[in-house]
Amino acid sequence: MGRMRENPRYNVISMRISDAERETLELIMSTTKKSVSDIMREAMELVKMRACAADINQKAA
């Protein structure tokens, strides 16, 4: 049996990307030495922070 993890990940998401997007992703992977999953998790956090900042700016206006 596999080892117990503190934060198990059971959900799988797949997506289609263009050849150009794939090349960009491979460049990011080779530059950062990160996996596709790690890059996508980071991208989600950046989008979340941007959305939260936009929401705060709208409420302030």
**Domain boundaries defined on the chain:** 35-61
Q: DSSP string spanning 9-56?
A: ----------HHHHHHHHHHHHHHT--HHHHHHHHHHHHHHHHHHHHH
What is the amino acid identity at position 46?
L
Looking at residue 57, its pLDDT comes to: 79
pTM: 0.76
Taking only the tens of pLDDT, the chain with its 61 residues reads 677 888 888 999 999 999 999 999 999 999 999 999 999 999 999 999 999 888 887 877 6
